[in-house]
Amino acid sequence: MSLPDLNLIRVFVVLYETGSVTQCARRLNVTQPSVSYALSRLRDQLDDRLFVRRHQAMTPTMTAHQIYPDLKAALQTLETHLNSRHHFDPAQCNMRFRLALTDLGEMVFLPTILNHLQSAAPDLELEVVPLQIEDVPEWLTAGQVNAVICSRPIELRSLERQPIARDRYVCMARADTFEEGPMTLETFSQRKQVVVSGASGHSLVEDILHQMNVQRKVALEVPHFSILPSLLMTSGFMSVLPIQIANQFAAGHDLAVRSLPFQVPDFHVSLYWHIHANRSPAQHWFCQAVLEAVRSMNIPEPEVLVSRLFGQIDKPTDSGAAR
């Protein structure tokens, strides 16, 4: 059996990872018939169907499962070697890069990142992948995304991490629903709350409440932060969210902020990428460009936003957000 050429290996690996001819073609910037033709050639060379269509998805055969790890590793080695031999020119780049973000990350970072990338590489394509925090290690290891911005620490030795912002959790609700002065733990636990799903990576507050054996009154769970302003304004419910986005929400709505009545440490939002990216000029440039874009925003520290949003109404104490 002869070894398939590099383009066929790319098609196999991406089709295996996406399970879709359409998504495979999109990631490789080719037409769907090109993917189908490549798959036909692979089937002839490897004497196996490789993928079977089931329920609108391309399901790998046993042979495909067996050869994927070796072909994936071979592809990464070859592409790293080829990339290292060529100078990367952003002005000539027409590649597609994939960045995983929460909707919060889209609101805070994406406009600046896009402008920065487009100014250096006008023909570049950027695809934003909705963040599923549990899938991040697999995505980065398999090369399904180029980089990830998230707040939950990811402990994997094969990943590089660069903090890009420090943030702090606060409470937010319609201004007329808050009592004067700092919030008590009893009030916090009794108020109906809108909770954002832990799949976004924002589960730290829930973890600490569980350790304290405190249960809050969850009236609604949603997958995204972006819906919070309208929900909080109409329902009178409360929500816990990072102060960076609370600052944006408060600017356009009659919403107020209070510190948490229990200690929660500040956290860092970080950019993650796989160490293999450091050996690829294109990937290295992309990660550095994202970092440059975010750093150009001069994101304020939580203490600055606390002074701006709390004023004299609710000065955080030692029982509020951790220092």
CATH number at residue 58: 1.10.10.10
**CA 77 – CA 66 distance, rounded (Å):** 19
**CA 216 – CA 206 distance, rounded (Å):** 9
Does 316 reside within a domain?
no
261 with 246, same domain: the answer is: yes
pLDDT band with cut points at 50, 70 and 90 for residue 321? very low
149 with 284, same domain: the answer is: yes
The tokens for 114 are: 């896009």
Tell me the torsion sign for CA atoms 103, 105, 111, 113.
negative
174 with 259, same domain: the answer is: yes
Q: Is the pLDDT of residue 312 over 60?
A: no
pLDDT in tens, 136-152: 988 888 788 999 999 98
Q: How far apart are the first and last CA of the chain?
A: 62
Task: Provide the pLDDT for residue 198.
Answer: 80
28 with 172, same domain: the answer is: no
* Helical (H) or strand (E) element with 268: strand 267-274
206 with 69, same domain: the answer is: no
12 with 79, same domain: the answer is: yes
Does 1 reside within a domain?
no
The domain in which residue 221 lies consists of 168-265+303-310
CA distances from 282 to 1, 79, 168, 285, 293 (A): 33, 11, 34, 5, 16
Does 231 reside within a domain?
yes
pLDDT in tens, 86-112: 578 899 888 889 999 999 999 999 999
Does 323 reside within a domain?
no
Task: Provide the pLDDT for residue 322.
Answer: 38
111 with 251, same domain: the answer is: no
Q: Whole-model pTM above 0.75?
A: no
174 with 220, same domain: the answer is: yes
Residue 203 DSSP symbol: -
pLDDT in tens, 158-170: 899 999 999 999 9
Does 285 reside within a domain?
yes
CA distances from 306 to 102, 167, 234, 244, 299 (A): 23, 11, 25, 10, 14
Domain termination residue (choose one: 58, 84, 110): 84
pLDDT in tens, 199-252: 778 889 999 999 999 999 999 999 999 999 999 999 999 999 999 999 989 888
State how many domains the chain has: 3
Q: Is the pLDDT of residue 184 over 50?
A: yes
160 with 273, same domain: the answer is: yes
What is the arrangement of strands in the sheet containing 238-242, beginning at the earlier edge strand? 217-222, 192-196, 238-242, 169-174, 255-258
261 with 283, same domain: the answer is: no
Does 204 reside within a domain?
yes
Alpha helix positions (H), the chain: 6-18, 21-28, 32-46, 62-84, 103-108, 110-120, 136-142, 185-190, 204-212, 228-235, 243-252, 281-295, 302-310
Highest mean pLDDT among 18-22, 236-240, 252-256, 317-321: 236-240
